[in-house]
Structure 1
Amino acid sequence: MTTVHTVNTEAGRLCGDRTDGVARFLGIPYAAAPAGERRFAPPGPIERWAGTRNAGGYGATAPQPALHPAHAYLAPLIGPGWVIGDGDYLNLNVWTPDPGTSGLPVLVYIHGGGFMIGSGAAPAFDGTSFARDGVVLVTINYRLGAEGFLALSDGITNIGLRDQIAALRWVRDNIAGFGGNPDNVTVFGESAGGTSVAFLLHSPLAGGLFQRAIVASGHDEMARPLELSEELTKALAARLGTSPTTDAFRAFSAPDLLRAQAALLRNEPRPDLRDDNGVDPGHRRALFLPTTGDDVLPDPVGVPSTHSRGVDLLIGTTLEEANLGFGAEQFAAFDAHDAVAELAATYPTAEALLERHGLHDPAVTPAHALTSAYTDLMFRSPSRRTARRHPGPTYVYEFAWPAPLHGAAHGLDVPFVFDTTQACRDLIGDAAPDTLIRAMHQTWLDFAAHGDPGWPTYGDARKAMRFDASPHLCEDTAPDGSGDRYLPDTSTAQGSAHAERERPAPDFGAFG
C-alpha cells in the first residue's frame, strides 16, 4: 500500500511516498541549478519554492556520456545515464523508516563512475533495505567530468567535491526533518565515490559534516596537483579551440564538452598527466580527478589528514578489482610486450611490477598479470596506505566472493551492502549467498550506528574482515608498498593468486 507523506525543509515543503513501511523523497535539490552563470561555479544556495514540491520520482542527473550498449548489464550500478529533466540535477534522494521520529543514524552515499558517469538513482543504491532496518539513507548527484573537475584559470577548482560538501551541509541542516540525527552521519562511497570520501576526510571545508566514513574501492592518492589539473584543462580548451576560462567553457553546451572530453580520453596525442614520480594516478582511465593545492584539498597526496582525527574509518577493496570496468577489452589478446607497454604509459617500473604478478609464469596469461597488477596498483595497495595514514580508528575489509562471470570484481560488493542483489542478477547471478548479504548489510548498519563494524582496528596486527560465503577475520594479504607510494611490497604481492580461475576476458569499457 502506498501513502503520501510530507516534510518541511529549509527551502520548502516536500511530498514523498510511503510503501511497506518506508518513506522516500526523491529528486530533492540541495543547491541551485548549475545553469547559466552557475555553470563552472561553486554550488549556490537553493532557491525556495512555494507550496509543496513533489518528491515522488528521481530528478535530473548530471551530464555524462551514454553507457555503451555492450555494457548495458552494468546499468544497475551506473543508473539511467544523463537525464536532462528540468536541469536541476544537484539533487539527492532520502529513504527513511519514519520522518516523524528522531535520532536515527544517517548514511550518505556518493556514487562512483570514474568521476565521469553515474548517479544516485542507480537500482543498486535503492535505500529501502537500509530504511527498513532503521537508518536514514541519502544518495546524491554531483557534477562530473569537465563540468565538475577542471582547474580553470580564474581559480575555480574541485567543483564536484564542492557539490558533495554542499550536499552534506544540506544533510546537516535538514535531515532531522526526515528522522535522522545530524550528529550521527556516515558518508560512504565506492570507486570514485570512495575516493571522494577519502578526500573529504582531508578537506577543511568538510570538517564536522560527518562522524564516520566508509571508503569502498577508493583511496586518497588518486588526485592531481593543481598544475597538472591546469594542463588537463588547457588540453580540453585546445580541443574546443578556446581559452581555459570559466566564461569560455560556459559558451559550449554540455554535449559539446562531452564530445571533447571523449576525444581527449581516446585519441592521441594525449596530455602528459604523469606526476614527478612518472605516474598518472588515473592510469589514463580516470581522466578527471580531484585537485590538490586549493582550499578544498590544500595538502599534497600522501600527507595524513589533520581534519579527521575524530572520524571512524571503514575501508576496503575487492580481491579482483580490475576484472571489470576499466576500458581494456583488448587485454585478452595481449602478449607480454603489450602488457608492459600498456602499463608503462602511466607507471615507470611496469615490467618489474608485472613480473611480480606472474607475467612470465606459463600458468598466467599476460591479461591476468595486467589485471592483477592494476588491482593492486590502483586499489588494494593505495587503500591500505590510506588506512595506515588515517589518524582515527580504522577498520579494513576485503570482498572476496567470486561471482560466476567476473570473480570478486570492482563494484560487485555494492549490491551486498545495499541488499539489492536481486536488481543486479545479470552481474552477480542468482547464487549470491544470503549469509554474505546479511553480513555486509549488517556491518554497514552497525558502523553507522556506533562506529564499530565488529572486528579489531587495523593497527599493527593488519587484520581484515574477509567477506566471502563465510565471512571471517584474517591476516590482510594486500600489499601496502612498505611506505613507497607506488611500489607494492614484493614479499606480499598476491598477483598470481588472482589468476587461478579461468574466466572470460575482463570487460573494462564502462567505468573509465
Structure 2
Amino acid sequence: MDSVVVRTGSGELQGTSEGGVSRFLGVPYAASPADSGWLLPPAPVPPWEGVRPATEYGPTVPKNAYPMPSREMLTEPVVDGDECLNLNIWSPGTDGFAPVFVWIHGGAFRNGSGIVPQYDGTAFARDGVVCVTINYRLGLYGSLDTGDGHTNIGLRDQIAALRWVQDNIAAFGGDPARVTIGGESAGGMSVTSLLASPLTEGLFRGAIAQSGAGHHATSPAGARAVSAFLADTLGIEADREAFARVPRADLLAAQEKVGIVVQTDPDPAKWGEIAANTMPFEPVVGDDVMPVLPYGGLRGGRGAAVSVLVGTNADEMLFFLAPTGIVAGVDQAGYGAVAGAVARYGFADPAAVVEAYKGGRNDSPGKVMAAVAADWFFGIPAVRVAEARADRAQADGGAAAPTYVYQFGWSSTARGGTLGSCHALEIGFVFDTLAARDGENLTGPNPPQALADEMHAAWVRFITDGAPGWEPYTPDHREVRIFDIESETVVDPRPEQRVLWEGLR
C-alpha cells in the first residue's frame, strides 16, 4: 500500500493507493458542528497546517440505533467524534479527470452513514469512476424547525458537500463538470429534493434516485409539531437555543420517543403529513432549499438539464412488514382487512384495488397489502417523477435531459425467503459489494454475482455517459429495465395498477 498526497482548498491530505485505487477517508467538507453549532447550517472547513491523514473513516453523526428487526438486517457503523461532516473518496487515480459519483445514504433521515460496508466505492474506482460517500446531519439535528429560519440543515449539509466536490474533486482525479448524485431511500428522497432545489444549479449533471422520490416532505406545520413534541418531552421551550443546551443523550432519547409515538399513533390532526409516512424527520417545504414539494418543482422544470435514473424494488415493503409478522397477520385476517387498510390512501373502491393487485407475486392478502403500500411510498412517486420529467421534455421539444426507469426484481433468500425483492436489497448489486461485511443478513448466502456485474455496469454507464443502456422513459413509451436473474426491458409493466393512482397523492 502506497501513500498519496493531494492539496485541497483547506490543506494537504494523505491517503493510500493500492491495486490502482486511491482512498481518502474521513475528509472534512464542513467545519465541526461543535464549533459552528450542532443545530445551525454548515460552515466552511477551516484550513490546517501540514499534511492531514485521511486513512481512516471519520466520525459519524449523532443518531439512535436502528429499531428491531431492521437492526438485524442493516449494518450501522458508529465512529465517535465531533468532526462528523466528512466524506470518503475512492479514485482510479489522482492525475485523471474521471466522472464522479456522490452517494447520499438512506436511513429514514434518522440512521445511516457514508461508511456502511456496502457503500465501499472500490468497484466504482476500479471501473473509472471517482466515488464519494458523505455524512449529513440526521434526526432533529438535520430537520429541526422552530420557526427561526434555520431549516433543512441536513439538506444544507448535502449541498455543502456538493460544493466542496466542485471546488476540490479535481485534485483527486475527478471532473467537476461530470458529477452524478445518487442515493437510496432517504438518500433517494434527498436526490430528488436536490434536483428540484434552486440552490443546486450547476452542482451535478446526473441524478440517481433509488427507492425514494419526490413526494415525501413535510410542511412547516408538521415539522413544528415534531419540535413542539420534542420540547414538551424535554421540558424546554421550543426554540433552537433551548434545544442546543440539552445534552446529546437526552436529545437522542427524545428523538427516539417521537419516532415511536408517530409510528403507534399516526394521527393526521396531530402530525399533519408526517402521519402518512410516519417519518418525523424529513425535508421541510417552503424555504430557499425546497420552495415547493420536489415533485412540483420537477413539473415546473427544475433539474430539466440533469439526466435522471429512477426506480424501485419489486417488494419494497416486505422489508418492513414481513420480519415484524404483519404480513402473516394480514394473511390470516384475509382480503377484507386489506381493503380496509388501503382505503386510507383515498381510493373510491378499495375492494377493486385489492382485486387489481392480486396475482403473480402478490398472491396472499399480506403481500397485496405490502404491494399497495409500496406503490404509495415508493413506486408511484418514482413513476410520477419520471412522467413529470418526460412531460416536460416533450413540452420543451425534447430539449430536456432524458429520464430512465428501472425495477430490481431479484428475491432475497434471507429470513426464509420472506423478504422478496425488498427495500435496500439492490445496494450491494449497484456497488458490487455483495461480499461486504454482514451483506448476507439481507441477501442470504451466495447472491448472484452476475446480476451485480450487470447492474453495476449500468450505473457506471449512466455516471459516465448519461445513458444506462436502455431507452428513456416517455409518455408514449414507458420503458422500464427489470433487473433479475434474467433481466429484460418492458414497456409499462403494470398499467392496471399504475392508473389506479391517477388523481391521488
Class of the TM-score when normalised by the shorter of the 2 chains? 0.7 to 0.9
1:172 aligns with 2:166: yes
Q: Is the 8 A contact 1:112 1:189 kept in 2?
A: yes
* Structure 2 counterparts to residues 36-435 of structure 1, below 5 A: 38-68=37-67, 70-76=69-75, 79-80=76-77, 82-85=78-81, 87-101=82-96, 103-267=97-261, 270=265, 272-273=267-268, 280=274, 283-284=277-278, 286-300=279-293, 302-303=295-296, 304-325=299-320, 329-331=324-326, 332-334=328-330, 335-336=333-334, 347-349=345-347, 352=350, 355-356=354-355, 364-390=363-389, 391=392, 392-404=401-413, 405=417, 406-423=419-436, 424-435=439-450
Could you say what secondary structure the match of 2:7 adopts?
A: strand
For 1:32 and 1:69, locate their aligned partners in 2 and report how far apart those are by CA, in whole Å: 33
TM-score, normalised by the number of residues in structure 1: 0.87
1:465 aligns with 2:474: no
Give the C-alpha shift of residue 273 in structure 1: 4.5
For 1:349 and 1:226, locate their aligned partners in 2 and report how far apart those are by CA, in whole Å: 27
Give the C-alpha shift of residue 49 in structure 1: 1.2
Alpha-carbon displacement from aligned partner over 1:342-375 (angstroms, at most 9, x marks no partner): 666x6444981762466899x9544222211211
For 2:27 and 2:194, locate their aligned partners in 1 and report how far apart those are by CA, in whole Å: 22
For 1:326 and 1:26, locate their aligned partners in 2 and report how far apart those are by CA, in whole Å: 36
Give the C-alpha shift of residue 164 in structure 1: 0.4
Equivalent residue letter for 2:407: E
1:436 alignment counterpart: 451
Say if 1:141 and 1:467 are closer, same or farther in 2 by CA, change over 3 A: same
Say if 1:97 and 1:440 are closer, same or farther in 2 by CA, change over 3 A: same
For 1:209 and 1:394, locate their aligned partners in 2 and report how far apart those are by CA, in whole Å: 18
Alpha-carbon displacement from aligned partner over 1:239-277 (angstroms, at most 9, x marks no partner): 22222211011011222122112211213785745799x
Could you say what secondary structure the match of 1:35 adopts?
A: helix
For 1:88 and 1:341, locate their aligned partners in 2 and report how far apart those are by CA, in whole Å: 48
Equivalent residue letter for 1:414: I
For 1:368 and 1:351, locate their aligned partners in 2 and report how far apart those are by CA, in whole Å: 19
**Which deviates more from structure 2 when the two are superposed, residues 292-301 or residues 456-465?**
292-301
Say if 1:41 and 1:302 are closer, same or farther in 2 by CA, change over 3 A: same
Equivalent residue letter for 1:398: Q
Give the C-alpha shift of residue 37 in structure 1: 5.2
Give the C-alpha shift of residue 13 in structure 1: 0.7
Could you say what secondary structure the match of 1:408 adopts?
A: coil
Q: Structure 2: which 5+ residue stretches go unaligned?
A: 393-400
Q: Which has the higher helix share?
A: 2
Q: Is the 8 A contact 1:97 1:134 kept in 2?
A: yes
Equivalent residue letter for 1:402: S
Could you say what secondary structure the match of 1:31 adopts?
A: coil
Q: Is the 8 A contact 1:235 1:271 kept in 2?
A: no
* Structure 2 counterparts to residues 22-37 of structure 1, below 5 A: 22-35=21-34
Equivalent residue letter for 1:308: G
1:500 alignment counterpart: none
1:447 aligns with 2:447: no
Give the C-alpha shift of residue 326 in structure 1: 6.2
Alpha-carbon displacement from aligned partner over 1:100-127 (angstroms, at most 9, x marks no partner): 22x2000000000000000000000000
Q: Structure 1: which 5+ residue stretches go unaligned?
A: 488-512
For 2:283 and 2:486, locate their aligned partners in 1 and report how far apart those are by CA, in whole Å: 37
Say if 1:267 and 1:281 are closer, same or farther in 2 by CA, change over 3 A: closer
Say if 1:274 and 1:409 are closer, same or farther in 2 by CA, change over 3 A: farther
For 2:453 and 2:153, locate their aligned partners in 1 and report how far apart those are by CA, in whole Å: 36
For 1:138 and 1:485, locate their aligned partners in 2 and report how far apart those are by CA, in whole Å: 38
**Which deviates more from structure 2 when the two are superposed, residues 109-118 or residues 335-344?**
335-344
Say if 1:283 and 1:3 are closer, same or farther in 2 by CA, change over 3 A: same
Q: Is the 8 A contact 2:20 2:126 kept in 1?
A: yes
Q: Is the 8 A contact 1:148 1:160 kept in 2?
A: yes
For 1:349 and 1:63, locate their aligned partners in 2 and report how far apart those are by CA, in whole Å: 40
Say if 1:483 and 1:329 are closer, same or farther in 2 by CA, change over 3 A: closer
For 2:307 and 2:461, locate their aligned partners in 1 and report how far apart those are by CA, in whole Å: 12
For 1:297 and 1:326, locate their aligned partners in 2 and report how far apart those are by CA, in whole Å: 31
Q: Is the 8 A contact 1:357 1:369 kept in 2?
A: no
State how many pairs are aligned: 477
Give the C-alpha shift of residue 228 in structure 1: 1.9
Say if 1:53 and 1:227 are closer, same or farther in 2 by CA, change over 3 A: same
Equivalent residue letter for 1:486: L
Q: Is the 8 A contact 1:36 1:250 kept in 2?
A: no
Could you say what secondary structure the match of 1:181 adopts?
A: strand
For 1:149 and 1:202, locate their aligned partners in 2 and report how far apart those are by CA, in whole Å: 18
Q: Is the 8 A contact 1:232 1:273 kept in 2?
A: no
Give the C-alpha shift of residue 73 in structure 1: 4.0
For 2:301 and 2:15, locate their aligned partners in 1 and report how far apart those are by CA, in whole Å: 40
Give the C-alpha shift of residue 455 in structure 1: 1.0
For 2:47 and 2:135, locate their aligned partners in 1 and report how far apart those are by CA, in whole Å: 19
Say if 1:275 and 1:120 are closer, same or farther in 2 by CA, change over 3 A: same
Could you say what secondary structure the match of 1:224 adopts?
A: coil
For 2:348 and 2:246, locate their aligned partners in 1 and report how far apart those are by CA, in whole Å: 39
Alpha-carbon displacement from aligned partner over 1:127-162 (angstroms, at most 9, x marks no partner): 000001111000000000111012122111111000
Could you say what secondary structure the match of 2:131 adopts?
A: strand
Equivalent residue letter for 1:408: S
Could you say what secondary structure the match of 1:457 adopts?
A: coil
For 1:152 and 1:163, locate their aligned partners in 2 and report how far apart those are by CA, in whole Å: 18
Give the C-alpha shift of residue 338 in structure 1: 6.1
Say if 1:422 and 1:340 are closer, same or farther in 2 by CA, change over 3 A: same
For 1:232 and 1:72, locate their aligned partners in 2 and report how far apart those are by CA, in whole Å: 24
Equivalent residue letter for 1:154: D
1:508 alignment counterpart: none
Give the C-alpha shift of residue 185 in structure 1: 0.2
2:502 alignment counterpart: 484
For 2:322 and 2:216, locate their aligned partners in 1 and report how far apart those are by CA, in whole Å: 17
Equivalent residue letter for 2:19: D
Could you say what secondary structure the match of 1:484 adopts?
A: coil
Q: Is the 8 A contact 2:143 2:154 kept in 1?
A: yes
Say if 1:273 and 1:235 are closer, same or farther in 2 by CA, change over 3 A: farther
Say if 1:301 and 1:132 are closer, same or farther in 2 by CA, change over 3 A: closer
Q: Is the 8 A contact 2:230 2:258 kept in 1?
A: yes
For 1:3 and 1:239, locate their aligned partners in 2 and report how far apart those are by CA, in whole Å: 52
The two structures, once aligned, show a CA RMSD in angstroms of 2.6
Q: Is the 8 A contact 1:213 1:313 kept in 2?
A: yes
